[in-house]
Structure 1
Amino acid sequence: MAEIVVVDGGASSCRLAAFSDSGQPLAKVSLDRHASLTMGVSDAWQHIEQGLEAVREQLRAGESWQPAKLVMGLAGSLRQERREQFLNLLPKQVEQLLVTDGFAQLVGASNGKPGICVAVGTGSVMHWLDEQGQSGMAGGWGFPVGDEGSGAWLGVRALQQYLASIDGVPATSRLIDELRLLIGSDVSAIQAWTTQTRASELAGLAPLVFNAAAAQDALALQLIDEAVEKILELVKRAPLHLPVYIVGGIGQKLHPMLSKKLKNRLCTAHHDALRGLWLLSAQAK
């Protein structure tokens, strides 16, 4: 059987699945390692190779096994230099297709039909596809200048509020208390966070925001409202008649608030990015 392996790679995780040519799922693997070209081309391929080995084991294939086709949706794959460097690492005998992780999520969420997909996880990006086959995107410029409304963005906003409290801005907040426990009030400890360059590390602060918001902490609720508005701004940059899909870990947490704003435009995703990548493979035949 000629397997098609698809890879959904972002800043925090790497997921792989093997499908038959007819779309039957054969294996599925998830790694807590990035497959983002932005975070390192060689590392991304190394992590994908680890995932491929796990897929091979699930398939009970021989050690020389390679997929017939490798279809990948990876963060950071729009930059041409990185893209070429990455593709040069891949086995030449394996057929390859590379798109962004956000576009893979759109195709999966909409089942390949017209729609808008905002992927909100460690980062954020919006992709759209209309009835004429025209497509576009907004956001996704990456941390620290973009990715508004994302986990990393929420982490930065929470950290900014904590720094304000350190500088003397009055704040009675569960979120501030939780940040103080985690970060501490020592200057060196604080600067270890303020000089943090890995989006995934700052996204690790987002759960504190959601936990505090669940306890009705006013500051945390304010930050979540800000994140919702940033996501809505992305939606407005696409054709206004299209259905909207919100995906990603942070996106799912924001879903109830976005539902109140988008009402009947907000739809349930048909599939995930892995199935979206298989659909792209089928369309490319």
Structure 2
Amino acid sequence: MTLVIGIDGGGTSCRAALATAGGEIIGRGKSGAANIRTDLTGARASIVEAARLAFTDAGRDPDLIAQTPALLGLAGSNVGTYRQQLEAILPFSRNVVTSDALIALEGAVGTGDGAIAVLGTGTVYMVRHGGKVRSVGGWGFLVGDQGSGARIGRDLLEETLLAYDGIAEASDLTRALLAVFRNEPRDVVEFTTTAKPGDLGGFAPMVFDHAAKGDAVAEKILGRAIHFIEESLRVMKLRPGDPLCLLGGLAPLYEPRLRADVRSLIKPPLQDALGGAISMALRLFAEGDQGKAGSHG
């Protein structure tokens, strides 16, 4: 093993890093969404493109992808058979597909005790105590991912239509959202026909912006989201001294809104999820070279 690829794929984007056997990252690439449950074929295309760009960035021939082992942390890999389906069609020499949460945990706290809350297009929580890992959430925005960008966006669309019908309170936020769709509620509905989690999550910053101005609907949406975030953290039974790392694009927006006792546990991550993928790849593939490693999910 002379090179390894680490992949971090979520509902908004896919990032790849190419590293030497010594752990030096020599190339990086970024492409589109890679949630394998939402769009398996599209996710594979994003993975391959991100890997190709990482090789190009490193000044290496992308044809070497077929000779390089890859560790992939991907949204959607924790349910169904999507992981196995993807492994069968990947171009790398060897594949280890696991959850995006697990590579994020390794990146944030290393191999020791600690916890993460990934607050982005989706949400998922993971804690490690004494070598045992437990995950909370990560079930997708249709039945889970409370507090995620996708759910915030979906809730905003719902509140806007309720306000249009006079069932719920209107606000500057709902009026601004409706204006995006030319004040035509039917266009809002049509948008949802093909909208993916990342599309819905694109409206989340609008909610935070209006909440900062005291918008009642924005505060209602975020209040509900924060309740679920804090309850998810509660069931992980964090102990004093356990590092808690908030990750994902919405983390800095949520942090000041969390309870003081939760904020007191927050520590900066050691490295990001892509760094975690590289660390796992180096460890697992080195073990595999000695006949120890297989697929991990």
TM-score normalised by L of structure 2? 0.88
Instruction: For residue 129 of structure 1, report the CA deviation from its aligned partner.
Output: 0.8
Contact 1:184 / 1:190 at 8 angstroms: preserved in 2?
A: no
Instruction: For residue 108 of structure 1, report the CA deviation from its aligned partner.
Output: 0.7
Q: Deviations over 1:202-255 (max 9, x none)?
A: 111112101112222232123222211111111112132133111000122111
The residue identity in structure 1 corresponding to 2:128 is: L
CA distance in 1, matches of 2:173, 2:20: 48
Count residues in correspondence.
282
The unaligned stretches of length 5 or more in structure 1 are none
Stretch of structure 1 that moved more, 120-129 or 193-202: 193-202
Identity %: 27
The unaligned stretches of length 5 or more in structure 2 are 288-297
| Equivalent residue number for residue 292 of structure 2 | none
| Equivalent residue number for residue 244 of structure 1 | 244
Contact 1:144 / 1:199 at 8 angstroms: preserved in 2?
A: no
2:155 to 154, 157, 165: 157
CA distance in 2, matches of 1:64, 1:137: 36
| Equivalent residue number for residue 105 of structure 1 | 104
| Equivalent residue number for residue 272 of structure 1 | 272
The residue identity in structure 2 corresponding to 1:86 is: L
Instruction: For residue 196 of structure 1, report the CA deviation from its aligned partner.
Output: 4.9
Cα 1:128–1:55 change in 2 (3 A) is same
Mapping for residues 40-51 of structure 1, pairs under 5 Å: 40-51=39-50
The residue identity in structure 2 corresponding to 1:162 is: T
Instruction: For residue 14 of structure 1, report the CA deviation from its aligned partner.
Output: 0.4
Contact 1:37 / 1:74 at 8 angstroms: preserved in 2?
A: yes
Instruction: For residue 78 of structure 1, report the CA deviation from its aligned partner.
Output: 2.1
CA distance in 1, matches of 2:75, 2:11: 7
CA distance in 1, matches of 2:229, 2:62: 45
| Equivalent residue number for residue 169 of structure 2 | 171
CA distance in 2, matches of 1:58, 1:41: 26
Instruction: For residue 51 of structure 1, report the CA deviation from its aligned partner.
Output: 1.4
| Equivalent residue number for residue 19 of structure 2 | 19
Structure 2 residue 201 is the aligned partner of structure 1 residue 203: yes
Cα 1:207–1:71 change in 2 (3 A) is same
DSSP-derived class of the 2:23 partner: coil
TM-score normalised by L of structure 1? 0.92
The residue identity in structure 1 corresponding to 2:237 is: P
DSSP-derived class of the 1:236 partner: helix
| Equivalent residue number for residue 295 of structure 2 | none
CA distance in 2, matches of 1:189, 1:197: 12
